[in-house]
């Protein structure tokens, strides 16, 4: 008999965010993913099945182990391995690193030993709804433990927010990189590239409480909190990389073009009008939408690709963006991971054309991106997928904590403005960092440039 979940539905308090955070910090599971999708929050804890990808190949651990050596078609291998999971109604949660973009077409020249993708089908899963939660677990003991936690009074908010000036770090190197990239654009090597800068955080932070405070202070398209395979992050994603419906309808959501979002409504209106009329921002956005439509066309039925929303303005925490939505219908023979591969990485976090942008990113950025500008995603047995673009996030791995943000560089870019744009984006997270220990003197967090 195939493994199956035991499950029940219960009524609960309406604060899904606080409930999901309580589950994450409970210690019930070492590995977990909290994901806020279009229908609310989900919590995935523990591992019933696990799928990983690196330069050696794809590995599924479930009722034994299946290993597919690298054959140059890693996304097809992921699809094949997931198809073999016989858990009824499974849903997988996890992440894909930006560097998967270098390898998804088979080339390993720019890939090291790092993990490129990590997915788990959880032992315990909780899907929050309107005043209720569907609680599922691989065994009755796991179900009981989850139910007890959900019925425990919510923990009070803890910790103090750190007030950090993100403009005081890394200015010279980033400005120089922007100027070099603009020169390459003027030499017709590419049209656009997103260059990012890294800001290390000295001192421990409470990642769960940072997520709670940051989510309450942001207006993301998606949000997530995870500790999976040694990778930790909390993020407030401004856009999706791809959304796939069970019937094969596919969407992507390019955001490009940015202005600050302040506490002054009049100033915000002025900035919005400037954003909507700035030739540089409009050009940057338009070429991103063009790439998005071309990419979906490659896997969609002829004539099905459309742009149902064009150049709207979306407010995302400390910034406002030009936003569009591209849609298509998967053509016969194409499936979920084909759609993911067609658009990954998001053009708004890489560049135009992508291959040339990759070269510039590797040349001018200080280190590999990893989770930054990759994806945190959920996908399920029906073929649905919801993949959030990993931006506006705080990262922790191997004892190091850091922030990262980028800006879209085109021929009209200036180093001063692009540096300011990265600062505006960093503030979506930096304003909400919470010290791990709220005791005396613990709320001071310094950034190292």
Return the closest-CA partner of residue 320 out of 442, 172, 424: 424
Give the whole-angstrom CA distance, residue 319 versus residue 304: 32
Give the whole-angstrom CA distance, residue 104 versus residue 77: 11
Residue 441, pLDDT score: 37
Give the whole-angstrom CA distance, residue 161 versus residue 166: 15
What's the token pair of residue 250?
Answer: 């596919």
Q: Where are the beta strands (DSSP E) in 212-349?
A: 222-228, 231-237, 240-244, 249-252, 255-260, 306-316, 319-329
Residue 44, pLDDT score: 98
Residue 317, pLDDT score: 76
DSSP percent split of the chain into helix, strand, coil, nearest 5: 30, 35, 35
Give the whole-angstrom CA distance, residue 445 versus residue 449: 13
| 418 contact partners, CB below 8 Å, separation of at least 6 | 174, 178, 195, 407, 409
How many other C-beta atoms can be found within 10 angstroms of the C-beta atom of residue 55? Answer: 15
Residue 14, pLDDT score: 83
Give the whole-angstrom CA distance, residue 59 versus residue 349: 28
If DSSP codes are grouped into helix, strand and coil, which group holds residue 248? coil
Residue 449, pLDDT score: 34
Give the whole-angstrom CA distance, residue 22 versus residue 206: 13
Residue 158, pLDDT score: 66
Each residue's pLDDT, cut to its tens digit, for the chain (449 residues) gives 346 899 999 998 889 999 999 999 999 999 999 999 999 999 999 999 999 999 999 999 998 999 999 999 999 999 999 999 999 999 999 999 999 999 999 999 999 999 999 999 999 999 998 889 999 999 999 999 999 999 887 766 667 877 677 888 666 699 999 999 999 999 999 999 999 999 999 888 999 999 999 999 999 999 999 999 999 999 999 999 999 999 999 999 988 888 988 888 999 999 999 999 999 889 888 988 999 999 999 999 999 999 999 999 988 878 888 989 999 999 999 999 999 999 999 998 999 999 999 999 999 998 999 999 999 999 999 999 999 999 999 999 999 999 999 999 999 999 999 999 999 999 999 999 998 874 433 333 333 33
Q: Which domains does the chain have, with CATH numbers?
A: 166-205+248-363+400-448 (3.60.120.10)
Q: Which value, to the nearest 10 degrees, does the dihedral of the CA atoms of residues 73, 79, 82, 86 take?
A: -130
Active site amino acids: 239
If DSSP codes are grouped into helix, strand and coil, which group holds residue 50? strand
Q: Is-contact 318 425, C-beta < 8 A?
A: yes
């Amino acid at each position: 008999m195939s493994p199956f979940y035991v499950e029940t539905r219960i009524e609960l308090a309406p604060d899904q965010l606080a409930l999901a955070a309580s589950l994450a910090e409970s210690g019930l599971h070492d590995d977990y993913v909290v994901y806020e999708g279009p229908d609310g929050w989900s919590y995935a804890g523990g591992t019933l099945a696990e799928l990983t990808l690196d330069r050696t190949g794809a590995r599924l651990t479930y009722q034994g182990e299946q290993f597919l050596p690298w054959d140059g078609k890693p996304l097809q291998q992921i699809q094949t391995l997931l198809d073999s999971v016989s858990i009824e109604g499974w849903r997988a949660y996890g992440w894909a690193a930006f560097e998967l973009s270098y390898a998804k077409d088979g080339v390993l020249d720019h890939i090291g030993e790092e993990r490129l993708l990590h997915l788990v089908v959880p032992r315990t899963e909780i899907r929050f709804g309107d005043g209720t939660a569907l609680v599922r677990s691989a065994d009755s003991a796991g179900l009981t433990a989850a139910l007890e936690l959900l019925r425990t009074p919510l923990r009070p908010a803890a910790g103090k927010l750190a007030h950090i000036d993100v403009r005081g770090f890394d200015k010279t190197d980033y400005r120089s990189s922007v100027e070099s990239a603009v020169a390459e654009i003027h030499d017709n090597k590419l049209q656009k590239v997103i260059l990012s800068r890294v800001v290390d955080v000295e001192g421990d932070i409470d990642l769960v409480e940072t997520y709670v405070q940051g989510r309450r202070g942001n207006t993301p398209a998606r949000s997530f909190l995870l500790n999976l395979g040694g990778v930790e992050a909390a993020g407030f994603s401004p856009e999706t990389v791809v959304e796939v419906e069970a019937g094969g309808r596919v969407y992507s959501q390019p955001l490009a073009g940015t202005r600050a979002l302040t506490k002054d409504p009049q100033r915000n209106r002025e900035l919005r009008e400037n954003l909507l009329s700035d030739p540089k921002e409009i050009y940057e956005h338009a070429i991103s939408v063009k790439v998005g439509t071309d990419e979906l066309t490659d896997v969609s039925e002829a004539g099905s690709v459309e742009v149902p929303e064009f150049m709207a303005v979306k407010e995302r925490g400390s910034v406002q963006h030009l936003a569009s939505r591209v849609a298509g219908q998967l053509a016969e023979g194409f499936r979920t991971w084909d759609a993911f591969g067609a658009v990954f990485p998001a053009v708004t976090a890489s560049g135009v054309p992508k291959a040339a942008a990759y070269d510039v990113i590797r040349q001018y950025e200080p280190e590999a991106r990893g989770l930054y500008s990759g994806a945190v995603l959920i996908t399920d047995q029906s073929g649905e997928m919801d993949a959030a673009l990993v931006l506006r996030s705080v990262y922790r791995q191997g004892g190091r904590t850091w922030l990262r943000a980028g800006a879209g560089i085109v021929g009209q870019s200036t180093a001063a403005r692009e540096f300011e744009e990265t600062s505006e984006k960093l503030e979506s997270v930096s304003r909400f960092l919470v010290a791990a220990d709220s005791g005396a003197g613990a709320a001071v967090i310094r950034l190292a440039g």
